[in-house]
Structure 1
Amino acid sequence: MIRRELWFGLSFMALIVIGAATVLLSADTITNGHLGLLMLSLVVVAIMLGFPTAFTLMGMGMLFTWLAYDRDWHRTLDLMVQAAYKTMANDVLIAVPLFVFMGYLVERANLIESLFKSLHLALARLPGALAVATLVTCTIFATATGIVGAVVTLMGLLALPAMLRAGYSVPLAAGAITAGGCLGILIPPSVLLIVYGATAGVSVVQLYAGAFFPGLMLASLYVVYVIVIARLKPQWAPPLSQAERVVPLPPLSQRLADSPAAHAVVGLLKGRRNAGVPFSHVLRQLGIVAMPGLIFLLLAGFSYKAVTTVEAQARYDIEEIGATRSGGAAEGASAGGLQEPPSTGGLQEPPAEGGLQEPPSGDAPSSGPLAEPPGASAAPAEAAPAQPPAATAPAAEGASVRPAPTWWWVTFAIFGAMVTLFYLFLSFARLEIFKMLLASFFPLVLLILSVLGSIVLGLATPTEAAAMGALGGMLLAAAYRRLNLAVLKESVFLTAKTSAMVCWLFVGSAIFSAAFALLGGQALVEQWVLGMNLTKVQFLVLSQVIIFLLGWPLEWTEIIVIFMPIFIPLLDNFGVDPLFFGLLVALNLQTAFLSPPVAMAAFYLKGVSPPHVTLNQIFLGMLPFMGIQVLAIVLLYIWPQIGLWLPQLLYK
């Protein structure tokens, strides 16, 4: 297999070199733009040969910048200093080490084992329960960490042996783990979206809001595929046996229940059965049982007030300013806003017997050339009986309540139905599963929602939310008694290593992009693409195919920092929203992570798999999920509102 990979890499590099040579030889005259394309080809080849990406970009960029500046070293070094300073001054990149630090702390809190166990018991009745639990666990854990290698590796150690023991097909088990682990590329808080936002000049907040529903859509498509396959091919995903579904009850709960299937609320409220059980234990269990209903009522109450209340003060100000402009001086005097000071009281001219005085007004006859025009003196008199500003307040207050929108009723109808079903089918066994979820699932979900909610709702910037997430990761690790000096030291070291890689990549990318622009490479590419007379659909297909092919030999960081500066300037020519393009790129790069023969997720999983699991089996299992990702890209293109609805709703 190593020989095949080496053969593929050499063939790919040969194609790049042959393509660059063909372009250079076919040109009538070799211009600086052709040198820019040569630089781009050499960078890709050097990275595939194993040279460090950041330093390859810097080295090539400085060499070709020196050529573009006619061998002037001073201007070349000035460019390098400016590029480094620009990266250091980029506030968006501060969120990268904080999110990475949060991910490493959550990973070391060892939540994934209890999370997987509780989820597979909660989903035991579904076909392919273990694979579905694997996908849900990967989705949650990938959202909390955003580190593909860590998620795939941990789930390979935990879920793969469990699925193999249950008789699952090796390709299906491997595909579920690798596809679920790659979701961290797309679902916020994704480091890829931060890097893309900093490169393309797109708001990271809007990218996070836009990526939320495409990420959920992709995870849902994975789950639906596994359920369908398990239903059609039960031998590939055998159902859990009755013994594997048994949930042991604590001793005190056994006294309350005739069997684990007994209804929990009825058993807790039966007085005669509680004789041998401490009342404090019953109260604690009832408190846990009542928790979903209380949370639902609180969320419904506060959200209903938020969506139906209109700020009266804001409407008052806007209406009165409009009235002042349209109603003239007389109406403006009575409506508030910018008015003339009152004629009595306040700062006035002192009375004077003579000298310079105001011209006479009212009914007094006017004399002299400077007299009020006819009818002007009547305006104050007419304005005097107008209502005071407070009289307009009831109109504003009357418009302070509006009906709840349809989406609110639909959302809470669904949540209400879920809470109702929870109480209807709450047995003692399900109560124990719910308690397990409270200890593993809900802390992670609360951390994720607090970080993403503060960003999407505008309560905090991505950097501030990342700092809050890092603190939450530390508290979570401390709550599970995993926070010690060794864990903290290792997390800080890995965070510094990853952050340094990203920041040096940005420095190298800035130097490379500047050299590429100086040589005219960007103009040459733009001229070539526009000369093809592509439609918007054809341009998007061409760009996504190129990114997909680049995802084989290159990491996503290299694709974003090297090739996005080439694609982004072309978007305006085809009317493509950079936000929408970024969502397509994020989905596409997940596909590249699952594409043989250079699928990084497969090698992560192979490193922790049993010896009998081969790379070919892993590749075979990844192919259907790669097809689902292509389907998700098509769905996102056909219905762009999947990704654009939430940003437009929140930031219109």
Structure 2
Amino acid sequence: MLFGLSNPELGVVMLVLFIVFIMLGFPIAFTLMALGVGFGYWAMGDTVFSLVVQRTYSVMANDVLVSIPLFIFMGYIIERANILDRLFHSIQLALGNVPGSLAIATLATCAIFATATGIVGAVVTLMGLLAFPAMLRAGYDVRLSAGVVCAGGCLGILIPPSVMLILYGATAGVSVPKLYAGALFPGLLLATLYMLYVLIRCWRDPSLAPKLPKEQTDVPWTAVLWALATSFFPLTILIMSVLGAIFFGLATPTEAAAIGSLGSLILAAAYRSLSFTKVKESVILTARTSAMVCWLFVGSFIFSSIFAILGGHEPIKNLVTALNLSPTMFLIVAQLIIFVLGWPLEWTEIIVIFVPIFLPLLEFFKIDPLFFGILIALNIQTSFLSPPVAMAPFYLKGIAPPHVTINQIFSGVMPFLWIVLVAMVLVYVFPGIALWLPKYLYG
């Protein structure tokens, strides 16, 4: 007992303090460790320090997490090898006179690049430098252009090989290959809904996306096919090889990530875009990102372990069960909580801190953790798009021309937020969208 509080009540206090400290701007990983060790010392005494060592070692020795730096390295190499601008140009040529062709090409490029890297900031920044100015020069509506770049850039959180799904799998004890298989069709569904929205809106109101000049659309098919053959197909083949190796059990996620990293180096060399400087930059950025993720995971394991030892899950579980919710209502409430948490918190905190709170309740409501994870991956799209914190609009604002305001960007992303909700409803009503491929591949 501390301050007259029972251990479960102390667990809840620890959770509340974490949210308060994060709001005040304290470093996330070290806040998690400090709170875990502090409250753990009261509950366990000196034993808590042994727990810290064990949890740190278990994270560093986790084979699944080794794939994270490899996938990140693959993405950074592709980013720095100027492969993205080739891809965008070839898709733009292929679309020709399609209404909103530049916007649809942007979404298609984002969807493909999302399978090479799950780093939202990198995709939004790159497309903000490459596609956003091109759309503005062509006379596209500022809000539509901003929404397309921000929404498309967030697809990497959902479409495999997503780093978020690796973390969810490690946290929830769900097979990463199954998660990848489950997320593939929902990711493609969301990207398709984005493109259909842009196509229909630009068809109904051509002023939003004026037609491109003839010299940009009247291109011989031989030139289009050559552009696709030299940019679209090589990258697509690399990505499908990586995902196929995972889906069909030919390689573990870590082995497939290693193949992808090697393939990205070969592809960059083939384009004559590989240099020591670019490799060095990619290695440094990979080390920085991986260190952040790993220490965050260490902190979250310590925090969640102490939280469980204190019994902090019990008051929350008792509250939810006392509400007498149906499985459907529980899913709605859980997704609403995650949606609200996405305003002040990033997806990493949501996955490693708050998902473990929901996991014991999944068994009570007989909900498949894989299905729950796919809904979370869809939902977290909104945390990057919804004001006031919305990282994707701020990434774009940082590189946008001065006349583009943050309010215009926020206004542009709002329709895409509604599309995410539509996709979540479709996946819930038709769960086969997420569950058919894992069942087909793994039984």
TM-score normalised by the chain length of structure 2: 0.98
**Displacement after TM superposition at 1:86 (Å):** 1.4
Cα deviation for residue 89 of structure 1 reads 2.1
Give the match's secondary structure for 2:210: coil
State whether structure 2 residue 341 is matched by structure 1 residue 550. Answer: yes
1:227 to 199, 205, 218: 199
- CA deviation profile, 1:517-562 (whole Å, cap 9, x unmatched): 1211111211111111110011001110111111111111111011
The one-letter code matched in structure 2 to 1:506 is F
Task: Tell me how far apart the structure 1 counterparts of residues 207 and 344 of structure 2 sit (CA, whole Å).
Answer: 36
1:422-443 per-residue CA deviation (whole Å, 9 max, x = no partner) reads xxxxxxx111111011111111
Aligned equivalent of 2:295: 504
Question: Counterpart amino acid of 2:51?
Answer: L
- Checking the alignment, whether the CA contact within 8 Å between 2:107 and 2:194 is kept in structure 1 is yes
Question: Can you give the 5+ residue segments of structure 2 that lack an aligned partner in the other structure?
Answer: none
Matching residue's letter, 1:441: F
Report the 3-state secondary structure (helix = DSSP H, G, I; strand = E; otherwise coil) of the residue aligned with 1:607.
Answer: helix
Q: How does 1:206-217 map to 2 (within 5 A)?
A: 206-217=178-189
Alignment match, 2:128? 156
Q: Deviations over 1:226-282 (max 9, x none)?
A: 0000011111111223232133xxxxxxxxxxxxxxxxxxxxxxxxxxxxxxxxxxx
Match of 2:162 in 1: 190
Q: Deviations for 1:86-130, whole angstroms, at most 9, x for unmatched residues?
A: 112211101111101101111111011121111111102211111
Distance in 2 (CA, whole Å) between partners of 1:528 and 1:119 is 52
- Indicate yes or no: 2:205 matched with 1:430: no
Distance between the aligned counterparts of 1:67 and 1:434, measured in 2?
A: 67
Residues 96 and 218 in structure 2, CA contact (< 8 A), matched pair in contact too = no
Tell me how far apart the structure 1 counterparts of residues 311 and 162 of structure 2 sit (CA, whole Å).
Answer: 33
Q: Does structure 1 residue 591 correspond to structure 2 residue 376?
A: no
CA distance, structure 1, for counterparts of residue 305 and residue 184 of structure 2: 33
Task: Indicate the larger mover: 490-499 or 56-65.
Answer: 490-499
Q: What is aligned with 2:74? A: 102
Pick the aligned partner of 1:63 from 38, 47, 50: 38
How far residue 160 of structure 1 moved from its aligned partner, in angstroms, is: 1.0
Q: Letter of the aligned partner of 1:47 in structure 2?
A: I
Task: Calculate the aligned-residue CA RMSD, in Å.
Answer: 1.3
Q: 1:88 & 1:537 partners in 2: Cα distance?
A: 37
Aligned to 1:171: 143
Partner of 1:130: 102
**In the aligned structure 2, how far is the partner of 1:619 from the partner of 1:473?**
34
1:476 is matched with 267
Corresponding residue for residue 626 of structure 1: 417
1:159-558 to 2 correspondences below 5 Å: 159-247=131-219, 429-558=220-349
Q: Which residue of 2 aligns with 1:86?
A: 58
Please tell me whether the aligned partners of residues 182 and 438 of structure 2 are also in contact (alpha carbons under 8 angstroms): yes
- Cα deviation code 1:354-382 (max 9, x no counterpart): xxxxxxxxxxxxxxxxxxxxxxxxxxxxx
How far apart, in 2, do the equivalents of 1:94 and 1:547 lie? 27
Q: Letter of the 1:37 partner, please give it.
A: V
1:58 maps to a residue whose letter is M
- Which whole-Å CA distance do the structure 1 matches of 2:60 and 2:137 have between them? 50
Paired residue type of 1:560: I
Question: Aligned equivalents of 2:5 and 2:31: distance in 1?
Answer: 24
Q: Does 1:139 align with 2:111?
A: yes
Distance 2:358 2:271 in 1: 45
Once the 2 structures are TM-superposed, how far is the Cα of residue 30 of structure 1 from its aligned partner? 3.0
| Deviations 1:323-377 (CA, angstroms, capped at 9, x unpaired) | xxxxxxxxxxxxxxxxxxxxxxxxxxxxxxxxxxxxxxxxxxxxxxxxxxxxxxx
CA distance in 2, matches of 1:613, 1:552: 23
Cα separation, 2, equivalents of 1:651 and 1:244: 46
Higher helix fraction (1 or 2): 2
Which residue identity does 2:247 align to in structure 1? V
Deviation at 1:39, TM superposition (A): 0.7
| Whole-angstrom distance in 2 between the partners of 1:624 and 1:563 | 27
Q: Which runs of 5+ in 1 are unaligned?
A: 1-23, 248-428
Q: What letter matches 2:33 in structure 1?
A: M
- Structure 2 distance, partners of 1:172, 1:532, is 42
Q: Percent identity?
A: 62
The whole-number CA distance in structure 2 between the counterparts of 1:167 and 1:487 is 34
Displacement of 1:567: 0.8
Distance in 1, Cα, partners of 2:339 & 2:436: 26
Cα distance in 1 for residues equivalent to 2:77 and 2:383: 28
> Tell me, what secondary structure is at the counterpart of 2:207?
coil
The amino acid that maps onto 1:184 is: G
- Alpha-carbon shift at residue 485 of structure 1 (Å): 1.3
- 2:105 and 2:60 map into 1 onto residues whose CA distance is 42
1:488-532 Cα distance to aligned partner (Å, 9 max, x none): 111111111111111111111111011111211111211111111
The residue type equivalent to 1:129 in the other structure is: S
1:579 aligned residue: 370
Q: Which residue of 2 aligns with 1:613?
A: 404
CA distance in 2, matches of 1:58, 1:97: 22
Listed one character per residue, the Cα deviations across residues 32-59 of structure 1 (whole Å, up to 9, x for unaligned) are 2111111111111212222111111000
Q: How does 1:22-37 map to 2 (within 5 A)?
A: 30-37=5-12
Distance in 2, matches of 1:112 and 1:81, equals 42
Q: Secondary structure at the match of 2:399?
A: coil
CA contact (8 A) 2:106 2:149 kept: yes
1:605 counterpart letter in structure 2: L
Map of 2:24 onto structure 1: 49
Deviation of the 1:607 alpha carbon: 0.7
User: Are 2:89 and 1:114 aligned?
Assistant: no
Larger radius of gyration: 1
Secondary structure of the structure 2 residue equivalent to 1:482: coil
